[in-house]
Amino acid sequence: MPPSRREVLFQLAALAVLPRLRFPMSDPSPDGDPLDGTIADYQAGRRRGRWTAAAVTAHALERCRTDGARWHAIDQLAATALADARAADARLRSGRQRGPLDGVPVFAKAIYDMKGMPTTGSNAEWARLFPDAVGRDSLEVTRLRAVGAIVLGKTAADDFAYHGNGTSSHTGQVLNPHDPAGTRTPGGSSAGSAVAVADGMAFAALGTDDGGSNRIPAQFTGVVGMKPTFGLVPRTGVIPTWPWLDTHGPLARHVADAALLLAAIAGPDASDPLALTGPFDQAPFAGFRDDALAGVHLGLVEAHVPRAQMTAEALAAWDRAVADLGAAGAKVDAFAAPVTLRNYRDAFAESARARGDSAPNPKSPAPTANALLHYFEGRTRSTAEAREAVKRGYPAYRSFYDALPATYEECEALLDIPMTDDPAGRSFARSRTEVVASLANAMHTAGVAAMVYPTMPFNAPLTADDWPDVRTTLGYGNWLGLPEVSVPAGMGADGMPALNLSVVGLPGDDARVLALANAYERQSRRFQAPARPVR
């Protein structure tokens, strides 16, 4: 029988009596603490016997109890983490390690199923309606466990991953660890995942991205966030959002660590009808070269750099990022992309009109309804039980996903329409293929290996304020299904992350954009961890 929530909380409270762990000051990580370094440094330290996965996992859980609680970043912690870490140490001693993530503490987002824990969706009403522990892991968590990763638990997010501010009705407003005043947003919806890695509670975390939910908190908390190629990561066992936009990927302090997480969770699986079906090769996601930018032609999409609306500090950070790319050996010049944030919606609509097709709509209600039924079918015993669960949770879910019909009774007929059969969704997919083909042709003609532009042209606003009225590229990336890596480009005078650089490729270019982003990171060294309060 899985532990009760009270038992889990009791075990976490017991961590308070653990002695504070001290690690050798000579280690490559900044202050000798492995959680503040890279996965490679951590694993090297384990192999040398400088620390164990069990000790570092206990240290990570202690940070969750202190910093995680301070920043409201944690949804739940897993009671199995320490036992899993001890098992990883045993594998290391016997020479049976499962790969580079074996023994590495990571997190998943609150909308992911994890066996033995309830799935709250970061929503108070959902947590009340579905208090029981689920009996399965999501596919991504399953894949992480298979390679030996220590899944510490789940991070807080916006309710049902819907907004971009880190506001959860279940656990409260997630705070930005760079802002001691607690007034600036961490972004969202993958807020807790970004904060957990920024603060060194874990090396990496799973997040989701329909319109920026990984990239927004990556920029606002100054970490790496990735939106992979659409369909590269199957989404089974996760509360659904918009099936034709939803893309799952990693957040981490370092690009190489994000690449390791992506390599573990990517690859085909028939349980997600929109996932890619071709073979997946993990090899290109390891062993990046620091000189990967040398001689590479990067296209600077000036339509995505709204200089007239950017502050002087944001412009300085952006111009410095471009200079860093050049210093790393890249050729960076203007690229007139045929489809940009200004015209991509019109391009999709025009493509459909030329085919005589239905109007494309990635937020058509039928695919989301079908995905919600599919989700519950995976965690219940029968379709009838799944339909009853959808009915029970429908008002809470629909209060955010209001493109759905107003009542369950009106939605019921949509549940059984396969998401691949929805006319608006199918038209959207056809338009995506045609629009991306025009972009690919332009990039190939210009000899451009990847595009670059700011992830967003402004830094974290106050949580209570509206965002600046400036268009961003966030939706553009999701509509076209492009792989995008968002990398820290430096800090502002206010002590907050100033900007992130996005390196963006064509679908399937995930390993390439990661390699280029890693080379930029290694050249610029702009990452700066938030100051940890003295205790």
The upper half-sphere exposure of residue 293, i.e. CA atoms within 13 Å in the direction of its Cβ, equals 27
Catalytic-labelled residue, pool 29, 138, 169, 189? 189
Q: Assess whether the previous peptide bond of 189 is cis (omega < 30° from 0).
A: yes
Q: Yes or no: say if 161 and 112 are a contact pair by the CB < 8 Å rule.
A: no
**Annotation marks residue 109 as catalytic:** yes
Residue 63 to residue 532: CA distance in whole angstroms: 10
Residue 330, judged by CB atoms within 10 A of its CB (0-12, 13-18, 19+), counts as: buried
Would you tell me how many other CB atoms lie within 10 Å of the CB of residue 62? Answer: 19
Alpha-carbon dihedral angle through residues 196, 201, 205, 207, given to the nearest 10 degrees = -20
Helix (H, G, I), strand (E, B) or coil at 299: strand
Catalytic residue among 29, 138, 190, 213: 213
Q: Where do runs of H (alpha helix) occur along 341-403?
A: 344-355, 365-377, 383-398
Structure tokens at 147: 């390679």
**Distance (Å, whole) CA 183 – CA 464:** 8
Rounded-to-integer distance, Cα 487 and Cα 257, Å: 12
Q: Any catalytic annotation for residue 213?
A: yes
Q: Is 332 helix (H, G, I), strand (E, B) or coil?
A: strand
Give the N- to C-terminal CA distance of the chain in Å, as an integer.
Answer: 37
Q: Looking at 29, 109, 138, 190, which residue is catalytic?
A: 109
Give 14-28 as a DSSP string.
HGGGSPPP---TTSS
SS3 502: strand
- Tell me, yes or no, if 189 is annotated catalytic: yes
Residues 372/378/381/384 CA torsion (nearest 10 deg)? 20
Residues making up the chain, counted from first to last? 535
Q: Would you tell me the crossing angle of helices 255-265 and 39-47 to the nearest 10 degrees? A: 80
Active-site residue list: 109, 189, 213
